[in-house]
């Protein structure tokens, strides 16, 4: 059965903005690509996100954010994941994230940042390739 | 056993949640490490109380499970939760959303919740779910809550692996009761009328009472009907009381031991099914299955002969 190992992805929305349409569209696209997507809903603290990632043993964590608080919240998510020994998960993010923040986020460990207008196909391919490839 | 596996097991038994999570993943993926882990851990199981929560989609199972977990935490019990959601039959993917309603439990390190997808009919889900419950038991959880959508046979099977099974119903869903009539006594130890603040809740309660009165009784246990409003925590203490009462009944009547043997028998049968599926229909067996599918669909071969062919060929190779 190990040949049919499923990719497990956590899609989470840190912070206070309540618009989760983008997150849901991505969750659905990943499901349609055969992955198991754990969707935790809006207004998640960094601790809650890391804890869910740990309990579900996900391969991938995708964060969606529109509030502009990513430079505050993302490092804390990374830190909480590390604290739990989850530093091997693949991280990506989507939402409204200015170009100038991207290098810092990549430095932090985010392998991809998807802005508005990204096709879901691109995100699916990214996750597939990145999980398949050795870290 | 490889050193990596035994190292994870040691960490698990020392209370490391990361190790627990990884062992559960091995089991979910059908990895050999998972089988080794289960073999090593099984003698340490049997301590946890296992409660199944089943019912139609939208009946409030997740919210009720959360409320029950909170009530158990209030009396100092550690809690494991296994929430099962269906996989898409077309893509094999799934969106597992039970955590949305269980958010408040996430901050409590004594609660460990795992989402499980049914992964189609070839997976032998109930065997897998049972194994996951066993690992949570060995980890030291006092209570394990297993939540399933009560729509199909698979889910009912999982509910049966519990010591006490709750069937959650809501007012204004008369059709569900019609559909469940036949099996209602076999599935449920406790009937929960959730959303009991809705109009017609009392109508549902009296329908259920009538149903229970003329159903055939296989046990001396009187199935109670508990009214809850899980979103407001109403009726939860009463529900916990009834779960405790059922536990006492199982112990005092000796029915608990009988059920444990029934469960063991059922679990072995399920495991045989899962093992055969794994050995003959997945991985290398897949191509052979696809060939035989064509023949059976074309009526050149009957399904039972196809099954016997797969098993006979597989044994020669093995």
Give me the residue label for tokens 């269980």.
Answer: B102
pLDDT of residue B119: 74
Stretch among A89-93, B15-19, B89-93, B239-243 having the lowest mean pLDDT: B89-93
Q: With pLDDT > 70 as the criterion, what percentage of chain A qualifies?
A: 95
Other Cβ atoms within 10 Å of B270 Cβ, number: 21
pLDDT of residue A1: 37
Distance from A23 to chain B by nearest Cα, in Å?
A: 12
pLDDT of residue A77: 96
Q: What is the pTM of this model?
A: 0.90
Give chain A positions within 8 Å (CB) of B113. Answer: 55
CATH number for position A77: 3.40.50.280
ipTM of predicted assembly, 2 dp: 0.91
Provide the pLDDT confidence category of residue B179 given band limits of 50, 70 and 90. Answer: low
Domain of residue A52: give its range. 2-132
Q: Does B92 touch chain A if contact means CB atoms closer than 8 Å?
A: yes
- Per DSSP, the residues of A32-93 read HTT-EEEE--SSB-HHHHHHHHHHHT-SEEEEEE-SS-HHHHHHHHHHHHHHTT-TTSEEEE
Angle at B105 between CA B188 and CA A48, to 5 degrees: 140
Q: Look at strands B164-169 and B49-55 and give their pairing.
A: parallel
Least CB–CB distance from B22: residue in A5, A28, A57: A57
Query: Regarding the domain delimited by B45-253, which CATH topology (the fold level of the hierarchy) does it fall under?
Result: Rossmann fold (3.40.50)
Residue B3 is encoded by which pair of tokens? 């050193």
Tens-place pLDDT, residues B282-291:
777 788 899 9
Nearest to A12, CA basis, from B3, B230, B96, B159: B96
CB-CB contact of A61 with A49 (8 Å) = yes
Cβ of A3 within 8 Å of Cβ of B95? The answer is no
Split into its structural domains, chain A has a count of 1
DSSP state of B101: G
pLDDT of residue B277: 82
Burial A5-16 (b: 16+ CB within 10 A, else e): ebbbbbbbbbbe
Give chain B positions within 8 Å (CB) of A39. Answer: 95-97, 99-100
- Per DSSP, the residues of B183-223 read GHHHH-SEEEE-STTSTTHHHHHHHHHHHHHHSPPSSS---
Least CB–CB distance from A52: residue in B30, B99, B283: B99
Question: Which residues are registered as beta bridge partners of A39?
Answer: A11
Tens-place pLDDT, residues A36-57:
999 998 889 999 999 999 999 9
Domain regions of chain B by residue span? 1-44, 45-253, 283-317
């Amino acid at each position: 059965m190990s040949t049919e190992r499923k990719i497990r992805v956590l899609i989470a929305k840190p912070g206070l903005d309540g618009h989760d349409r983008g997150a849901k569209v991505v969750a659905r696209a990943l499901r349609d690509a055969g992955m198991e997507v754990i969707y935790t809903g809006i207004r998640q603290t960094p601790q809650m996100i890391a804890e869910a990632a740990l309990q579900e043993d996900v391969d991938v964590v995708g964060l969606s954010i529109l509030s502009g608080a990513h430079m505050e919240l993302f490092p804390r998510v990374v830190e909480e994941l590390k604290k739990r020994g989850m530093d091997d998960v693949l991280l990506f993010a989507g939402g409204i994230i200015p170009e100038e923040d991207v290098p810092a986020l990549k430095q932090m460990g985010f392998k991809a940042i998807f802005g508005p207008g990204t096709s879901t196909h691109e995100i699916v391919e990214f996750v597939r390739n990145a999980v398949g490839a050795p870290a | 056993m490889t050193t990596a596996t035994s190292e994870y097991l040691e960490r698990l038994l020392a209370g490391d949640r990361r190790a627990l999570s990884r062992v559960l993943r091995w089991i979910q993926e059908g990895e050999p490490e998972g089988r080794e882990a289960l073999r090593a851990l099984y003698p340490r199981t049997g301590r946890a109380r296992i409660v199944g929560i089943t019912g139609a989609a939208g009946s409030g199972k997740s919210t009720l499970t959360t409320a029950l977990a909170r009530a158990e935490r209030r009396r100092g019990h550690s809690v494991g939760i296994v929430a099962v959601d269906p996989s898409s039959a077309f893509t094999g993917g799934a969106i597992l959303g039970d955590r949305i309603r269980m958010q408040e439990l996430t901050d409590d390190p004594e609660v460990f919740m795992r989402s499980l997808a049914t992964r189609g009919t070839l997976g032998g889900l109930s065997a897998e779910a049972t194994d996951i419950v066993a690992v949570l038991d060995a980890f030291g959880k006092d209570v394990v809550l297993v939540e399933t959508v009560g729509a199909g046979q698979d889910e009912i099977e999982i509910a049966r692996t519990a010591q006490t099974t709750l069937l959650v119903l809501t007012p204004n869903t008369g059709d569900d009761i019609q559909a469940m009539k036949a099996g209602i006594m076999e599935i449920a130890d406790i009937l929960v009328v959730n959303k009991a603040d809705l109009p017609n809740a009392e109508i549902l309660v009296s329908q259920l009472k009538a149903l229970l009165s003329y159903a055939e009784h296989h046990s001396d246990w009187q199935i109670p009907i508990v009214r809850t409003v899980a979103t407001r925590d109403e009726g939860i203490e009463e529900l916990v009381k009834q779960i405790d009462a059922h536990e006492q009944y199982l112990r005092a009547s000796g029915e608990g031991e009988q059920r444990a043997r029934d469960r063991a028998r059922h679990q072995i049968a399920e495991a045989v099914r899962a093992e055969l599926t794994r050995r003959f229909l997945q991985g290398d067996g897949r191509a052979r299955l696809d060939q035989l599918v064509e023949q059976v669909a074309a009526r050149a071969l009957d399904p039972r002969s196809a099954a016997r062919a797969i098993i006979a060929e597989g044994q020669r190779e093995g």
